Structures are given as C-alpha cells and as structure tokens.
Copies of this chain bind each other. A is one copy, B any other.
Amino acid sequence: MTRKNLTTDDVSKHNTQSDCWMTVRGTVYDVTEFLQQHPGGPQALLAYAGADATGAYDSVHTPELLEKDAPASIKSLGPIDPQSVAVDLGALNDTSSTKPPLESLINTYDFETVAEKTSSAKAWAFFSSAATDLISMRLNKEAFDRVLLRPRVMRNNKEVDTTTTILGVRTRSPFFVAPTAMAKMIHQDGEIAVSKGAGAEGIIHIISTNSSAPIADIISAGLGPEKQTHFLQLYVNTDRAKTIALLKTAREAGVKAVFVTVDAHLAGKREADERLKVDVPVKSAVSGAVSHNDKKGGGMGRLMGLYVDRTLNWEDIPWLKSVCGGLPIVLKGIQTAADAQLALKYGVQGIVLSNHGGRSLDTSPPSIFTLLELHKVCPEVFDHLEVYIDGGIRRGTDIFKALCLGAKAVGVGRPYLYALNYGAEGISHLTQILNDELETTMRMCGVTNLSQVHPGFVNTAMIDHFVPDSTGHPYVKWRPKSMI
C-alpha cells in the first residue's frame, strides 16, 4: 500500500472526514478510519486533514506511539517527498532584507521599528503579540512613564559604576536577557548569538526552555561557564521525567540557576499570533515542542505550550528543589503580595514580578504595581529574597526606577529579540545603549554606585492610588457562600 514520491500536494487533496490523510514525521498516513477512534475526538485530527500534523503530534505523543503501537486503522502510505516539504528556517527571517546600519539605532524603539519591517510576519506576530486587548502590555510601559525621578544635584559623579550581583553572581549591569522562545525565528544564529553578545557585555543570559538551540551549544558559544553566567528558564513538563532530564543536561552544561515560570502554565490569547498561520513548523531544541496550527489558529505560544504541567503547585516546590540539584530557584511570574509571601515561605531564592510582558492575561498588573504592593503588604520579602521585575523596561530610567524601589535587577525581553535581528552585534549594541542610559540617569540623579539608590529618588504619586493595599479587596466584603 506504500507509495512513492508522495508530495504535499498529493496529501492536501485528502482533506475531508471521508478521505483524510496527513503527514507525521515524514510519513503520510491515511487516518480516515481512525478518526472516530481517536481518544481526543475526530475534530482534533481533522484540523490537520490534508496537512502536516507533526507539530501537534509531537506536542502530546512520543515518536514511538505511531512508529510501534499504531492501531490498524491508521494506514501508512509511505514517505513524503522531501523536496515537496519546504522546512527552511532561514525563510523565517529574511537576512537579506535591507536594515539600517546598526550604529544608527540609538534606543530600544529603533530596534523594534526595524524588526517590524524586516523580520518575517510570523516572527513579528509571535514576538510582538500580547494577550487580547494589549492593555497590560501598554500599561507595563505607561506605569514606568508615570513614575517621576527626583534628581539630586551638585554631587561629584565623574565616575559611575553600574555593576551589581544577581544571586551572588557579578554582572556588569543590573539587567539581564529575559528568557524568550525560538530566537532563531528572527536570526539564524538565534540563542547562540544572544549568548555571544551577552558574554561580550558581561551580562547574564537566561535560556528559555523553548530555545531553538541546545543549552550546551548556547553556553559554549560564549565565554564559557567559567567566565559567563547563564540561568535556565523552566516550564515543568507534564511528563516530569523530561524535566528531570532537562535539568540534568542544563546543570552539566553550566547553568547557574533555574527560573521557574509560574504565570504561563497555559498560554494567553495572543490574537495577532493566532490570526497568522504557522507556514513553516519550527521545533524547540530544548523542550522539543513544535509549532503548528489547529482550528483556533496558529498561536505559537499556545500550541508549543501544550506540554506544560497545569498541576504544578506550591506543594511541588520540594520536588523542584530536589531535581534542581542545589541550584538557586527563582519563581518568575509572581503578581500578588500574597504569592510573594508564599514564595518566601516555601524557601525559594528569588522572584520575578512579571505579567509575562502582557502576554498571559490581559489586565493583569504591571510589575511596578506589584513591586509597590509588596512594600505595602509584605516589605519583609525584600530582606530574604532577591526581587526582580520585567515588562515594559525600555529605558535606562526604567531600570533605575525599579532599582530605587528595591528590585535587585530587571529583565529585558522583547528588546533583545529585536536586537537579535542584528545577531550578536545587536545584542551587544543594545546592551551598551541601555547601560549608557542607566549611567546618564545615575549621574543626573547624583548617584555613582548602585548601592546608593533608594526610594527617595522616585515620586510614585501618579500611580500610588492604583496599588492595592492588601491581599483582599478594601471594601467589597462579599464572599461566595462556598467560602463562608
């Protein structure tokens, strides 16, 4: 029954319930009979009728399932003609497109503007999108803009020092490359280039579980684990054995800490990303997740996150500690004082106040609100944990404001993706820009060393009344009967 030279065109003609083919891992299958037997229902399969279902398959099944244990109702028709499959990651980022000279870019927005014009439509949609109405994404930046500085004058600040430590590790600047998925979508060197640029500039790089390059390659591409620091961002897999394996690999490669993401156990509804189909499936070299489409659309975040364990909860912390093998653990995505207190109670080393760049849940609070909430509700947290924030950091002034309010460091996400558009050089150039802006801010405020910053340098009056006072509601005392 096996045929030769099956092309994607051939497959595409069998796209109905009564005649349903699809390609998985290079083999074409006739699943017409199997449709009604599929445990997930026929609709889940029909979304890929006449198309390649490798991504969806890999997100939930092991390769063995189809290779060894396929039911008889699934008929293998033979290999797909490789020529007819255009999986060309290079096509995702048109490196030949004309970009302005790197040195003409002088702020984070310049990188964003260029990326919008020169990256692939899908890369732009995936990276720039955020949840539903983009309210939190915009509020992230607006919240910083409404914090005013209080510059002190007539202080000798000829020399300025921007260095600090994060989890005890020295860094040239109090900001790090926040973890972002699938960097190769915007530049063929992907995370390799990020690692090189971060190493050159002396800042810390957090590697995503959904990286498009292997962890060991990323780390070895830079100055090496002795001279450069990498942390790992972690999504816990429903198959926890995979997580254990991943952590082992990471530790061996030289990762120094684990940032567990807690605000994206499912993906937010990023509509710009959903509306644009995945035309060329891509695969994470770390988690193994593959981008694909289903009938809801082409949301990469949603479809590549299917493996993430939605049962993860506070009682899993001891297990996490055990499998991290002594590496410091940081929880990324804390959005309330109540959860910051739990993080303290459960004994992690740090927290990242974050709404995932506005990508997870719209109208979730900007991290600067949460940072202020901690001061109101549980200031003791700052004595025992390192607190970081991310989301909306676009200027040196933003970094300075966060530090004045007790953040140990800040994460910069999308801007580094947009800078990666220029490879390692872009990473380096953006880092210099942000460091320059930070230095200027410090000098203008009369500060020469980050140990001197304190809340007196910022006026938060424009946002103070938006910050909740407690973990409950100030005057709505109603409770559902089930809680009384």
Contacts and interface: CB of A to CB of B under 8 A. Distances in A.
A473 interface: yes
Contacts of A103: 295
A58 B232 CA distance: 49
A339 B266 CA distance: 42
Contacts of A314: 154-155
A3 interface: no
A86 interface: no
A386 interface: no
A133 B395 contact: yes
Given A107-B132, A440-B269, A443-B265, A149 B364 contact: yes
A402 to B, nearest CB: 12
A333 interface: yes
Interface string A354-370: 01000011111100010
B476 A106 contact: no
A157 interface: yes
Given A465-B461, A475-B376, A476-B405, A361 B156 contact: no
Interface stretch (A15-23, A187-195, A447-455): A447-455
Contact of A365 (B148, B296, B443, B465): B148
Most buried by B among A133, A151, A342, A437: A151
A272 to B, nearest CB: 11
A382 interface: yes
Given A106-B275, A476-B406, A478-B405, A152 B459 contact: no
Contact of A263 (B153, B275, B454): B153
A453 B483 CA distance: 9
Given A311-B156, A311-B158, A466-B461, A149 B444 contact: no
Interface string A431-471: 00000110011011100001111111011111011111001
Contact of A443 (B296, B310, B441, B466): B310
Interface in A204-231: none
Nearest to A366: B148
Contacts of A483: 451-452, 454
A455 B477 CA distance: 7
Nearest to A317: B154
Contact of A468 (B339, B379, B444, B461): B461
B375 A145 contact: no
A477 B375 contact: yes
Nearest to A376: B475
B310 A477 contact: no
A342 B336 CA distance: 38
A452 B466 contact: no
Given A263-B444, A335-B150, A361-B441, A313 B156 contact: yes
A474 interface: yes
A153 B262 contact: yes
A141 to B, nearest CB: 10
A40 interface: no
Contacts of A458: 473
11 contacts: A106-B275, A133-B145, A151-B335, A266-B440, A266-B443, A361-B441, A361-B444, A379-B478, A454-B478, A455-B473, A461-B466
Given A158-B311, A361-B444, 13 more contacts: A148-B363, A148-B466, A156-B310, A157-B265, A269-B436, A360-B444, A362-B395, A362-B397, A452-B482, A454-B483, A460-B476, A461-B465, A464-B474
